């Protein structure tokens, strides 16, 4: 009887799928150049939401859960720490008068960020796409530059060949975040350099 119970437990454990969600990790390996001067940085308090549009339940798409909010914010802080000699995080956006009065070379604002997560099945292929969007505004007392950042990544898999969308979405989302942080850096550097000239 004990042996039968033991075999039943092992069988159930072996058949149980692992839906460990995994997590998106912060990006801290982007190569950056230093910018001098004192800068203000505003990062919107709005959550980095993921808008899902799934038309198929193949590849266990119902189990997909991605969270970009903390990894995005941590990645931005890593970037800022390495990029600026001096910067201040601000709880609110400063007016052009305040930017000048407080001696900031520029104000960098990051807002309107969200992700679009799409999945569908075409014939025997599961097709996944994730797109990250961020608005970056760089301004000083008399000029401003606004850039809309977007990073798209795709993942395709035959639905009959160990198709696990959570695993695919995690890898795809990680790469999309890396591309986004790289593009944010390029936008901030180029725009700040223009304003400082």
Out of 3.30.1480, 3.40.50, 3.30.160, 1.10.3470, the CATH code matching 47-83+111-196 is 3.30.160
Cβ neighbours for 140, distance < 8 A, ≥ 6 positions apart = 96, 99, 100, 104, 105, 106, 107, 195
* Cα–Cα distance for residue pair 195/197, rounded to 1 Å: 6
Question: Is pLDDT of 193 > 60?
Answer: yes
Tens digit of pLDDT for each residue in 47-75? 999 999 999 999 999 989 999 999 999 99
129 contacts 63 by C-beta, under 8 angstroms: no
pLDDT at residue 196 above 90? no
> Taking the mean position of all CA atoms in its chain, how far away is CA 142?
31
Q: What are the tens digits of pLDDT across the range 93-152?
A: 999 999 999 999 999 999 999 999 999 999 999 999 999 999 999 998 888 999 999 999
pLDDT of residue 134: 98
How far CA 4 is from CA of 11, 12, 45, 58, in Å, comes to 11, 12, 56, 34
Q: What is the DSSP letter of 159?
A: T
User: What do you get for the CA distance between the two ends of the chain, in Å?
Assistant: 82
State the average pLDDT over residues 7-13.
39
């Amino acid at each position: 009887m004990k042996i039968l119970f033991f075999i039943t437990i092992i069988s159930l454990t072996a058949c149980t799928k692992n839906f460990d969600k995994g997590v998106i990790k912060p990006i801290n390996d982007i190569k950056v150049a230093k910018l001098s001067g004192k800068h203000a940085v505003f990062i919107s308090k709005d959550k980095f939401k993921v808008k899902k549009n799934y038309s198929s339940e193949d590849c266990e798409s119902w189990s997909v859960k991605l969270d970009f909010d903390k990894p995005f914010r941590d990645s931005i802080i890593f970037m800022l720490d390495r990029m600026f000699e001096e910067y201040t995080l601000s709880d609110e956006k400063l007016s052009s008068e305040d930017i000048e009065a407080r001696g900031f070379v520029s104000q960098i604002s990051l807002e309107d960020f969200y992700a679009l997560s799409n999945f569908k099945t075409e014939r025997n292929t599961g097709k996944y796409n994730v797109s990250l969007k961020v608005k970056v505004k760089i301004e000083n007392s008399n000029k401003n530059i606004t850039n809309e950042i977007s990073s798209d990544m795709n993942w395709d898999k035959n639905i009959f060949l160990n198709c696990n969308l959570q695993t695919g979405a995690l890898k795809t989302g990680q790469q999309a975040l890396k591309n986004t942080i790289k593009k944010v850096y390029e936008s901030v550097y180029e725009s700040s350099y223009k304003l400082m000239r």
